[in-house]
Amino acid sequence: MSGAPKLQSLPEAASPDTASPGALPCHVAIIMDGNRRWAEARGLPVALGHKAGAEAVRRTIEACVQQGVGWLTLFAFSSENWLRPADEVKALTGLLRLYLRSEVATFAKEGIRLRVIGDRARFGTETVREIDQAEAVTAGGTRLNLNVALSYGARAEIVAAAQAIAAAAREGRLDPDAIDEASFARHLFTADMPDPDLIIRTSGEQRLSNFLLWQAAYAEFVFQDVLWPDYGAEHLARALRDFGRRERRFGARTG
């Protein structure tokens, strides 16, 4: 993202276009969809669609801080994305490394803690080292917990958790009768994170695409008909207002 503007210093006060009235979600998760279609509609290379999507990431991070959202999880690269054309995968992974290099200092300064969930080992030693360093540098951030899902697939996450629990039981470190939802969740990538209250998907598609299947059990969903590179603070505010109007019962009957 050479030459692109970096994340701006974040104001202490909320922006004028806030989501109130209504409850604010603690944790917002976003399936960022539409980079490819955005580029194709403009006759541009797909790589430029992903670059424009990175700018939308910056705007969305700023908006979450301004709105007071404490947790943001972005679905950036799925385990299935490895099956895309090699040049697109190369562009995506290169953009990831450039983003880490350009943003980590600002994240640390602005109190944003970055964590990556997913099978990071698939990105190679150098990229893994940069991810680890970015997480370490931003570990003290308390203003926004930013989780980026990379090489992530929810089914693989659940299978890995089941395998870890089975191994612990086989080795006598875990009583099978003691396994419950809480103990299972401790073996997921999101072990110490709250479940998402709100999941947003852009581009008009209405599916989870193997994202946070366990964690989304009682999430609210908002589907927005905007391609991700065009996403901004006003779109997030609309989604938060929609969330604030909903009655969350978590399976309990009312009336």
Dump pLDDT digits (tens) for 81-113. Answer: 888 888 888 888 888 888 888 899 999 999 999
Determine, yes or no, domain membership for 168: no
What CATH number is attached to the domain comprising 202?
3.40.1180.10
Determine, yes or no, domain membership for 134: yes
- Please choose, from the candidates 146, 108, 112, 201, the residue with its C-alpha nearest in 3D space to the C-alpha of residue 27: 146
Determine, yes or no, domain membership for 105: yes
- Please choose, from the candidates 63, 66, 38, the residue with its C-alpha nearest in 3D space to the C-alpha of residue 52: 38
β-bridge partners, 145: 71, 113
Determine, yes or no, domain membership for 1: no
Low-confidence ranges of the chain (pLDDT < 50): 1-5, 10-17, 19-21
Catalytic residues: 33, 81
Q: How many CA atoms lie within 13 A of 127 on its CB side?
A: 18
What is the C-alpha separation between 255 and 251, in angstroms, rounded?
13
Report pLDDT for 13: 38
Determine the length of the chain: 255
Report pLDDT for 30: 98
What is the C-alpha separation between 172 and 225, in angstroms, rounded?
51
Determine, yes or no, domain membership for 130: yes
| Total number of domains in the chain | 1
Determine, yes or no, domain membership for 115: yes
Determine, yes or no, domain membership for 217: yes
The binding site for substrate consists of 34-38, 50, 78-80, 82, 84, 201, 207-209
Structure tokens at 13: 């006060």
The binding site consists of 33-38, 50, 78-80, 82, 84, 201, 207-209, 220
In this prediction the pTM is 0.88
Q: How many CA atoms lie within 13 A of 250 on its CB side?
A: 3
Report pLDDT for 19: 47
Report pLDDT for 22: 64
The whole domain housing 122 covers: 27-154+195-244
Which parts of the chain are beta strand (E)? 27-31, 71-78, 112-117, 144-152, 198-201, 220-223
Report pLDDT for 96: 85
3-state secondary structure of 114: strand
Determine, yes or no, domain membership for 48: yes
